[in-house]
Structure 1
């Protein structure tokens, strides 16, 4: 149950199947993302892949000394591009791999186009998703719904992506879905239909307890994507924006050219792999330790290379030193920018009130906290709006005059009309009329202790009280207590035993906070393996864009409140 290894295995097998010799990797926009998150360019170069091209590029040179490995989504556009390519081949031989099921008629069209007989192989390798972490995948699809109904093209894409994950992990699951969501039911039915039609592909070795696919709807928990985050990966996405593991730092003051865009990948960055789920205070301490370790290994300026052995030792150690230097520079820059934004945007104070709204039941205290921050000139427009949205969701049953007063205060602060409209839009999207669950779970309702930890200068007392609704849902599922009346099975099949292999898909997007919950559950529940996926991975900005699109409001970007949007 490791989606990163599954995609990496496919890419490795493609390259191995093509044999020895120089190769070009031909991809489309989507498969470029799918490959780049599991393999670095330098890793692929070591496997004799010397060129990376897009199938839709019109200015590629003819290079008959190269073999072409084509990894493409089975879309009509890609098939047409391939037909044109095969009629006038630019490379000596073609190994063609589709990321999902392709029709026999399209295979026939490709065969007819291959008049020069340059195609050596055509296969389906089911890597039709972006493997972000070993237990987390995304389809990179923002705004999948239109007024609580599927966009037909996006329903088809989500079906393809989800069935591809099942095929990559070799799972033929029992399916459950969220009863309150018609979109969940429709996706469940579509996945079931594909499994039935392609029964030969899903004929895997039966396990004693069948795997389970659980399909959920983002609207059941609109609070989680609105909260500031304090673990490394989630915090980077919230404040800087992660796009296929890449961060755009080009607008950071004084940043060097090589650090304008950086990659954060647990596959080839040991520091990131060890810290992506740790809180900000711990990261500060670990950055300090990393720098101290680097200083010890740094070659001394006065070091003399007097003998052949001295020179050999220097050459042997230099690549490792160079790599460590890059790692230190990258993480110091990223953490430094996070620290600056936390201070500049008063995010400690904002987060404290957010956590009170999300986890506590003291209305008077929560109202006072929101009003206090509304009067703080240093709090950004986005942060002010998210606080009022959280209040509106949490205290929806209280007097509407209080919410009206908060909206008036937003207007007096100069918050744009578009941002003010988001308050109503989010309540419409994920308010009590829509939700199938309570906002505060039983675990949240107990007395919660403040967690103190110290890290970077000025960063302490970070609150991490909130647990996503998904955590409670999975806990109930693993214990065999998730109610069939709320999450029915699709069809006659059901589980008698507690599930062991669980795939969760969140329509409308998941979050890194939920990925952290899944990671923690996998560590704390031996024998249980959970993989989480979503139509996209949200931070606050992208979630508000999703909501505005879903509820039929203006499709303008929900940017603002800080310089960094969620680049997608």
Structure 2
């Protein structure tokens, strides 16, 4: 159940099956991202791949018949058309074709008819049809999957195919469960079931049946059930980088940072390629500062030992250690630049104060005190408009049913501070998207006796860090599933097979509307704390608050607001 290793295995297979010799790899936009998430360019070069091409580019190359071409594309109609053209007029000596998912016999026939020069040596299905973000985390990079409560049909098909590919790649036969109150979850569950039935022979050939262990479960959830988590500022390294700088396919742009060296305008943050990042993904901001200082001290110590290069022996010693030295130099510069940029943002935009109130609203019930604090922050100029709008959205989600709810006054305060109209409108959109009417869960622990007790004891014992008090709703849901307590009426098993009481060891959780790095941390902790259990988390995308607000805006586009009419729209 390691999605990075699953994808790597397929890519290694592609490069090895074509045999020795110079190779080019021909990909589409999505498979380019899939490969780049798990392999660096230098690692691919070691496999004799010297040229990277996009199937939709019109690049003209001469004299390439000596090269083998590995084709790795999604089996879409557009790619079949482009590949047909390529095979009619082949630029390369031979082709080894790999599709990232199941391909129809009709499409194979079309390609065979175009291969008049018989350059195709191999055509296979592999199942690397998702972005492997971390060992337990995957994504399809889709923002805006819904319109209201209905799927964009293209995105529905993409997610269903991607989940089929995931199950085939990790070799798991899953019982499918979904959130009963969510029509999008039900639709996706049904589509995945239909694909699994259609590809029953493929499943039988690829996935051994083992009746001795509990069946793995695929649990499909709706982002609307927890609109709070994606709105919060983050304080662990990976999540913080994504929130403040944005991680896009393991890449982070630092082009906006003053004085950043040209080599670091864009940096790669991938746990498989960067030991420091792998060890500190989940460290909080205070810890990361201390760790960076230790790293710098270590580097300076090593650099000092290399200052004297006087004899042949010194030179030989330096050259032998140079690659390691250079790599360490790059790692230090990269992380110092990233952490410095985060630190500047925290200080400039008063994020400690903002985050403290966010956590209080999310985790505690003290309306009068929080409202007073919020009004004060709305008058603070250094607080960004986006943070001000998110605070009001959090307040509205928490206190929409409160007798003294001041959402209308807070919207007016946003307008008076000069907040852009689209951000003010988004506050109402968030409430329409993820308000009490849209979720079945007791998100704030206001009604469920167990949740109220949990929060009471948590309040008594205090928290280790006021900036990381919040726990995503996902944690309780997954733990209930692992304990066999996830209620069948709320999370039915597709096909009516009663799933209540089962205690699965392997679980794949997929969130329609996107997951977050805070939830990824939560799943990482479950994997560490539950011996013998393995949970994988996936989402239509991996959100920060900016992309989540885009998700909400897309879902609410043209949808009539029925649950926020009582709040005067000052936008």
What is the aligned partner in structure 1 of residue 430 from structure 2?
Answer: 426
2:443 pairs with 439, 444, 449, which one? 439
How far the C-alpha of 1:60 sits from its partner, in A, is: 3.2
Structure 1: where are the runs of 5+ without partners?
453-460, 555-568
What is the aligned partner in structure 1 of residue 420 from structure 2?
Answer: 416
1:69 aligned counterpart, secondary structure: strand
Q: 8 Å contact 2:309–2:318 — kept in the other structure?
A: no
Q: 8 Å contact 2:510–2:539 — kept in the other structure?
A: yes
Give me the whole-angstrom Cα distance separating, in 1, the residues matched to 2:20 and 2:217.
41
What is the aligned partner in structure 1 of residue 192 from structure 2?
Answer: 191
Give me the whole-angstrom Cα distance separating, in 2, the residues matched to 1:546 and 1:497.
34
What is the aligned partner in structure 2 of residue 389 from structure 1?
Answer: 393
Q: Does 1:405 align with 2:409?
A: yes
Give me the whole-angstrom Cα distance separating, in 2, the residues matched to 1:138 and 1:450.
35
Describe how 1:140-159 pairs up with structure 2 within 5 A: 140-159=141-160
Give me the whole-angstrom Cα distance separating, in 2, the residues matched to 1:282 and 1:553.
45
How far the C-alpha of 1:59 sits from its partner, in A, is: 1.6
Q: 8 Å contact 1:22–1:49 — kept in the other structure?
A: yes
Q: 8 Å contact 2:237–2:285 — kept in the other structure?
A: yes
Distance 1:462 1:236, change over 3 A: farther
What are the Cα deviations for residues 352-392 of structure 1, in whole angstroms up to 9, with x where unaligned? 00000000011112111211111111100000000000000
Describe how 1:194-209 pairs up with structure 2 within 5 A: 194-203=195-204, 204-207=207-210, 208-209=213-214
What is the aligned partner in structure 2 of residue 273 from structure 1?
Answer: 278
Q: 8 Å contact 2:309–2:315 — kept in the other structure?
A: no
1:214 aligned counterpart, secondary structure: strand
Give me the whole-angstrom Cα distance separating, in 2, the residues matched to 1:50 and 1:400.
66
How far the C-alpha of 1:462 sits from its partner, in A, is: 5.2
Q: Does 1:168 align with 2:173?
A: no
Q: 8 Å contact 2:257–2:341 — kept in the other structure?
A: yes
Tell me how large the CA RMSD over aligned residues is.
1.4
Give me the whole-angstrom Cα distance separating, in 2, the residues matched to 1:401 and 1:492.
42
Q: Does 1:467 align with 2:468?
A: no
Q: 8 Å contact 2:224–2:439 — kept in the other structure?
A: yes
1:268 aligned counterpart, secondary structure: coil
What is the aligned partner in structure 1 of residue 356 from structure 2?
Answer: 352
What is the aligned partner in structure 2 of residue 456 from structure 1?
Answer: none
Q: 8 Å contact 1:230–1:462 — kept in the other structure?
A: no
Q: 8 Å contact 2:429–2:552 — kept in the other structure?
A: yes
2:26 aligned counterpart, secondary structure: strand
1:9 aligned counterpart, secondary structure: helix
Distance 1:345 1:503, change over 3 A: same
So what's the TM-score if we normalise by structure 2? 0.94
How far the C-alpha of 1:403 sits from its partner, in A, is: 1.1
How many residue pairs get aligned? The number is 545
Q: 8 Å contact 1:2–1:169 — kept in the other structure?
A: yes
Q: 8 Å contact 1:348–1:462 — kept in the other structure?
A: no
Q: 8 Å contact 2:179–2:185 — kept in the other structure?
A: yes
What are the Cα deviations for residues 498-541 of structure 1, in whole angstroms up to 9, with x where unaligned? 01000000000000000000000000001110000000011111
How far the C-alpha of 1:311 sits from its partner, in A, is: 2.4
Give me the whole-angstrom Cα distance separating, in 1, the residues matched to 2:200 and 2:340.
52
Give me the whole-angstrom Cα distance separating, in 2, the residues matched to 1:435 and 1:134.
30
How far the C-alpha of 1:227 sits from its partner, in A, is: 0.3
Give me the whole-angstrom Cα distance separating, in 2, the residues matched to 1:329 and 1:115.
53
Describe how 1:111-130 pairs up with structure 2 within 5 A: 111-130=112-131
Give me the whole-angstrom Cα distance separating, in 2, the residues matched to 1:414 and 1:122.
58
What is the aligned partner in structure 1 of residue 448 from structure 2?
Answer: none
What is the aligned partner in structure 2 of residue 340 from structure 1?
Answer: 344
Q: 8 Å contact 2:308–2:314 — kept in the other structure?
A: no
Describe how 1:97-108 pairs up with structure 2 within 5 A: 97-108=98-109
Q: 8 Å contact 2:306–2:318 — kept in the other structure?
A: no
How far the C-alpha of 1:313 sits from its partner, in A, is: 1.4
What is the aligned partner in structure 2 of residue 294 from structure 1?
Answer: 299
What is the aligned partner in structure 2 of residue 255 from structure 1?
Answer: 260
Structure 2: where are the runs of 5+ without partners?
446-450, 560-571
2:220 aligned counterpart, secondary structure: strand
Q: Does 1:311 align with 2:315?
A: yes
What are the Cα deviations for residues 204-233 of structure 1, in whole angstroms up to 9, with x where unaligned? 222321110000000000000000000111
Give me the whole-angstrom Cα distance separating, in 1, the residues matched to 2:177 and 2:383.
42
Is 211-220 or 434-443 further displaced after alignment?
434-443
1:503 aligned counterpart, secondary structure: strand
What is the aligned partner in structure 1 of residue 30 from structure 2?
Answer: 30
1:341 aligned counterpart, secondary structure: helix
Q: 8 Å contact 2:3–2:136 — kept in the other structure?
A: yes
What are the Cα deviations for residues 286-335 of structure 1, in whole angstroms up to 9, with x where unaligned? 1011111111111546413313x332211110000000000000000000
Give me the whole-angstrom Cα distance separating, in 2, the residues matched to 1:104 and 1:325.
52
Q: 8 Å contact 1:212–1:499 — kept in the other structure?
A: yes
Q: Does 1:537 align with 2:537?
A: no
More helix by share: 2
So what's the TM-score if we normalise by structure 1? 0.94
1:531 aligned counterpart, secondary structure: strand
Q: Does 1:8 align with 2:13?
A: no
What is the aligned partner in structure 2 of residue 371 from structure 1?
Answer: 375
1:463 aligned counterpart, secondary structure: helix
